[in-house]
């Protein structure tokens, strides 16, 4: 299995530059294998992301190198396990946010707060969860274990929102 390796150095000041690179590395789903050394599975999309990040690092006054490589002394599955662990953590965060969503819907129902404004806000929250899930799925190239769990939770959020919307509509019809 081939991987892309991005090695970079950024000026220590201002620190916001380091934070910006760190956020971008995390956003594209790359793993740090040590300080300033990131890895992604080799494919066109990964290469495009790393080339763009390389250019941005150099525009910040830093240095960067992009390599295509394979593992020699370690089995590929060690790196695959690291990628799956990272994606499972992201799926776990989505599941946690879904549980918060369930609590919010339950609170609105228990308080008989059946307004279109609240429904719209909850629809926006669900859309953010769905988009977040889709971004993680794109980065989940090795099939992390918690993917189906997160997908089920997103569907349960959809079901809870549908139930809440029925209550909102019925409340409006009875006014």
Between 44-48, 70-74, 123-127, 169-173, the lowest mean confidence (pLDDT) is in: 70-74
The answer on 64 and 29 residing in a single domain is yes
The answer on 163 and 123 residing in a single domain is yes
- 175: pLDDT strictly greater than 70: no
* Backbone angles phi and psi of 41, in degrees to 5: -60, 140
The answer on 87 and 61 residing in a single domain is no
Domain that includes residue 55, residue range:
2-70
Could you give the number of structural domains in the chain? 2
The answer on 117 and 62 residing in a single domain is no
> What pLDDT, on a 0 to 100 scale, did the predictor assign at position 173?
76
From the list 137, 118, 136, the residue with the least C-alpha distance to 126 is: 118
Final residue belonging to a domain, choices 52, 70, 88: 70
From the list 1, 66, 62, 71, the residue with the least C-alpha distance to 37 is: 66
Q: Report residue 122's pLDDT band, with 50, 70 and 90 as the boundaries.
A: very high
Q: How close are the terminal C-alpha atoms of the chain, in Å?
A: 63
Query: Is-above-0.75 flag for pTM?
Result: yes
> What pLDDT, on a 0 to 100 scale, did the predictor assign at position 29?
93
The answer on 96 and 62 residing in a single domain is no
Strand-pair partners of 39? 5, 31
* Backbone angles phi and psi of 65, in degrees to 5: -135, 140
The answer on 84 and 62 residing in a single domain is no
Final residue belonging to a domain, choices 70, 98, 126: 70
Q: CATH no. for residue 17?
A: 3.30.70.240
The answer on 168 and 125 residing in a single domain is yes
> What pLDDT, on a 0 to 100 scale, did the predictor assign at position 131?
97
The answer on 83 and 58 residing in a single domain is no
Distance of CA 7 to CAs 21, 29, 30, 84, 141, Å?
A: 12, 16, 12, 22, 22
> What pLDDT, on a 0 to 100 scale, did the predictor assign at position 76?
64
Per-residue pLDDT tens over the stretch 143-170: 999 999 999 999 999 999 999 999 999 9
From the list 86, 99, 149, the residue with the least C-alpha distance to 125 is: 99
Task: Tell me the DSSP string of 106-117.
Answer: HHHHHTT---HH
> What pLDDT, on a 0 to 100 scale, did the predictor assign at position 124?
98
Q: Report residue 75's pLDDT band, with 50, 70 and 90 as the boundaries.
A: low
> What pLDDT, on a 0 to 100 scale, did the predictor assign at position 128?
98
Task: Tell me the DSSP string of 15-67.
Answer: HHHHHHHHHHHHHTT-EEEETTEEEEESSHHHHHHHHHHHHHHHHTT-EEEEE
Mean pLDDT of the chain: 93
Final residue belonging to a domain, choices 23, 40, 70: 70
Per-residue pLDDT tens over the stretch 7-61: 999 988 888 999 999 999 999 999 999 999 999 999 999 999 999 999 999 999 9
The answer on 166 and 90 residing in a single domain is yes
Considering only residues 77 and 118, tell me which one the structure prediction assigns the higher pLDDT.
118
């Amino acid at each position: 299995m081939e991987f892309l390796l991005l090695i970079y150095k950024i000026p220590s000041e201002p620190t916001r530059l380091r934070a910006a690179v760190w956020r971008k590395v995390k956003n594209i789903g790359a793993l740090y294998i040590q300080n300033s050394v990131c890895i992604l599975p080799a494919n066109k999309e990964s290469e495009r992301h790393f080339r763009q990040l390389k250019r941005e690092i150099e525009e910040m006054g830093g240095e960067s190198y992009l390599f295509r490589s394979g593992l020699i002394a370690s089995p590929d599955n060690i790196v695959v396990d690291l990628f799956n662990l990272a994606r499972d953590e992201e799926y776990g965060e989505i599941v946690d946010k879904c549980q918060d969503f369930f609590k919010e819907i339950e609170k609105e129902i228990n308080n008989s707060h059946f307004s279109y404004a609240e429904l719209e806000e909850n629809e926006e929250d669900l859309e953010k969860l769905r988009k977040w899930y889709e971004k993680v799925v794109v980065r989940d190239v090795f099939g992390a274990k918690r993917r189906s769990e997160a997908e089920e939770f997103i569907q349960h959020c959809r079901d809870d929102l549908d139930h809440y919307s029925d209550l909102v509509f019925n409340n409006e019809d009875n006014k």
